[in-house]
A and B are shown apart, each in its own frame.
Chain A
């Protein structure tokens, strides 16, 4: 079992729809969680961080964390073609070592 699992996609959504990206993790001791966006050929860019159970909203992005079920999700409202990218989930176990998932490729169709 991988430490951080994501569906590789592609996840295709129409422009204006809500994109829902999911990530599960295996270590129950994980403490902090991050979503990065990576455009093709570019480096990862931090979108959201979340540390406690519940929802955290930032503009069109909402991160959701459920530690009991060991999953973290990212919702993108009003999806735009410019949101088309690979979204990486990263988990930190309280050390400074971060484990990344393989990423989910999102395609927003105009």
Chain B
């Protein structure tokens, strides 16, 4: 079956702009995660959804970051007033029960 998909694959934006990153999880997976990965680092947890609700958003770095999953499937990570330090690969993963995760290809965000 289809894996996790993420769009866009690359996003270049200017400092101060607003961006939205989309994740389409594996069908039937109730758990969805967002991570951020910088060069040479492991994925850094941002937020976890179980169904429609954000069960744990403790990894969001500040209030410029927000994520939604209104129908319990597709999720959107939203970043306001982007900063150069937000540049990273943003990874989405889904899981059938919140244990083993399957990652999407990621969105590479570059803030100029």
CB-CB under 8 A from B101, the residues of chain A are 34, 46, 98
A–B complex contacts, Cβ < 8 Å, 20 sampled: A4-B42, A8-B40, A32-B99, A34-B100, A43-B104, A43-B106, A46-B101, A49-B100, A90-B42, A96-B31, A96-B33, A96-B50, A96-B98, A97-B58, A97-B59, A98-B33, A98-B45, A98-B101, A100-B43, A102-B41
Q: Is B48's CB under 8 angstroms from A96's CB?
A: yes
Q: Is B104's CB under 8 angstroms from A97's CB?
A: no
Asked if B55 is at the interface of the complex by the 8 Å CB criterion, the answer is yes
Residues on B close to A: CB < 8 A? 31, 33, 35, 40-45, 48, 50, 55-56, 58-59, 91, 98-106
Bound-complex Cα distance A90 to B42 (A): 9
Bound-complex Cα distance A61 to B99 (A): 20
| Number of A-B residue pairs having CB atoms within 8 Å of each other in the complex | 53
The DSSP consensus for interface residues of chain A is strand
Bound-complex Cα distance A49 to B98 (A): 13
CB-CB under 8 A from A45, the residues of chain B are 103
Asked if A81 is at the interface of the complex by the 8 Å CB criterion, the answer is no
CB-CB under 8 A from B33, the residues of chain A are 96, 98
Known contacts being A42-B105, A43-B106, A44-B91, is A100 close to B44, with CB within 8 Å?
A: yes
Bound-complex Cα distance A36 to B58 (A): 23
Least Cβ distance of A5 to chain B in Å?
11
CB-CB under 8 A from B41, the residues of chain A are 102-103
Known contacts being A34-B100, A103-B42, is A96 close to B56, with CB within 8 Å?
A: yes
